[in-house]
Amino acid sequence: MLKRYRRSCRWRGWFTVGAGILATTLVMPSPARASDGGKARKVIDAAVTAMGGDAYLAVRNSQSSGRYFFFRKGRKGFTRYRDWTVYDPVKSRHERGKNEKEQFVAVHNMELNKGWTLEGEFEVEEIPDKELDSWIKAVRKDLNFIIKQRLDEEGMSLYYYGPDDIAGQGEFEAVEFLDASNNSVVVFFNLNSHLPEKVENEFTDDTGLRHKMEWEFYNWHTIQGVHTPLRTDIYLDGEISQQFFIEDLAYNLQIPESTFLEPAIDEKKKAKWEEKMAKRLRKQEERDAKAQREAEKEREKRRKGRRSD
C-alpha cells in the first residue's frame, strides 16, 4: 500500500492541498481580448479580496489533516494524511498512513534543494534530483505561489478570457499565466464569488508524453480570516486521480525547522527491530530447511517404494 502513495506525493495545488469536472474548457479567444493584462490583474485582485485580502496574503505556513483518496485503474484507495507547509521558501512535510509502521512521509525543502522519504519507521531515502526538480516545477505552477511570488516575474504574461471564451454556462472567467519558459497555468474564477474554482496546466512525463492536470476546489470556509477550500479534486487527463478532504486546519503556527529536515530515526528502536527481523528470518529459514528435509525424505521413501515393487 505504501508504494502506491509515493508517486502521488506531488504539490497539492492549494495552501495545504484543497464532483465531476467543471465544464470550463477554453475556446479560441480573440487575440485582443486574450491579451488584456489589465483586466486579468483586476480579476486576480478580486480573487485575493475574496480569499481574505490581507489575511490571505499574510499566510506564512499551515498545518492540516484529513482524508486522502486515490484512484488507479478503476480502483479506489483511502488513508489519513497530515501536512505541514511553509510558503517562502517553500518547505513541505506530508504524511500518510494510520500508524508509524504503515506510514509514508515525504519531505521537500526548496531552501536546501533537498528532499527525503520515510517508509514505515526506518526506511529513509533521499529524493533523487529528478523527482525533486519535478516537485519544484509543480510548486512554481501553484496558484498561490504565482499570486504571491511570480506575478511581477520578468517574462510573466497574463491573458484574460471572458465568459464567452469559455465553454459552459457563462459562470466563469479565466486568467492564463504564461512565463518566459512558455509554461502555462490557466485559472478559472467564479464570476459571482470571484473565487478560483479550477486550475489546469500540463506537464511532460519521463517518456516525453504530455498530460493535463486539473485541480477543482470546493466547500469553501473562512479559517482565521482566509477563505479556504476544504475539498480538492485532482484530475489527470480527464479522469479523477486524487481527492483531499481537510478536516483540521490552522495557519501561521510555530512549526519547528526540524519538520522539514531529513526524518530522524530512533537508532535504538531500529536496532531492536532489525534484531527482531533477523530472528524472524532465521526461524523462517529453519522452517524452510526442515520442510525441505521432510520433502526429501518423502521423495526418498517413494523411490524406495517403487524399487520394492
Same-domain pairing of 255 and 276: no
Residue 101 near residue 121 (C-beta atoms within 8 A): yes
Residue 16 contacts residue 85 (beta carbons within 8 Å):
yes
Same domain, 292 and 204: no
The pLDDT of residue 211 is: 93
Q: Based on the domain organization, do 239 and 305 belong to the same domain?
A: no
The total domain count for the chain is 2
Shared domain check, 240 and 130: yes
Helix, strand and coil percent figures for the chain, each rounded to 5? 30, 40, 30
Range of the domain at 93: 2-260
Q: How far apart are CA 264 and CA 256, in angstroms?
A: 13
DSSP-derived 3-state class of residue 286: helix
Half-sphere exposure at residue 252, Cβ-oriented, CA atoms within 13 angstroms: 10
Tell me if the bond preceding 89 is cis, omega within 30° of 0: yes
* pTM of structure: 0.78
Segment 16-33, tens digit of pLDDT: 443 333 445 555 444 444
Structural Rg of the chain based on CA atoms: 26
> Which of these three, 236, 260, 284, is where a domain ends?
260
Regarding whether 211 and 107 lie in a shared domain, the answer is yes
User: Is there a single domain that holds both residue 143 and residue 19?
Assistant: yes
Place of cell 506531488: 10
CB 109 within 8 A of CB 260: yes
The DSSP symbol for 120 reads T
Report residue 268 as a C-alpha cell.
535504538
208 and 99 in one domain?
Answer: yes
Q: What is d(CA 189, CA 178) in angstroms, rounded to the nearest whole number?
A: 17
Q: Indicate if 298 and 253 belong to the same structural domain.
A: no
Indicate the residue among 244, 260, 276 that finishes a domain. Answer: 260
CA distance 161 to 172: 9
Question: Is residue 183 domain-shared with residue 277, that is, in the same domain?
Answer: no
Same structural domain, 158 and 96? yes
**Residues 280 and 139 grouped into a single domain:** no
- Amino acid (1-letter code) at residue 176: E
Kindly report the CATH number assigned to the domain that includes residue 45.
Answer: 2.50.20.10
Q: What count of residues does the chain have?
A: 309
Helix (H) or strand (E) holding 63: strand 61-72
> What are the grid coordinates assigned to 223, written together?
479559517
pLDDT below 50 — which residues of the chain? 1-11, 13-14, 16-23, 28-33
- Final residue before a domain boundary, out of 240, 260, 280: 260
pLDDT of amino acid 273: 66
Q: What's the burial of 281, exposed, middle or buried (CB within 10 Å: 0-12/13-18/19+)?
A: exposed
Residues 297 and 219 in one domain: no
pLDDT at 198: 96
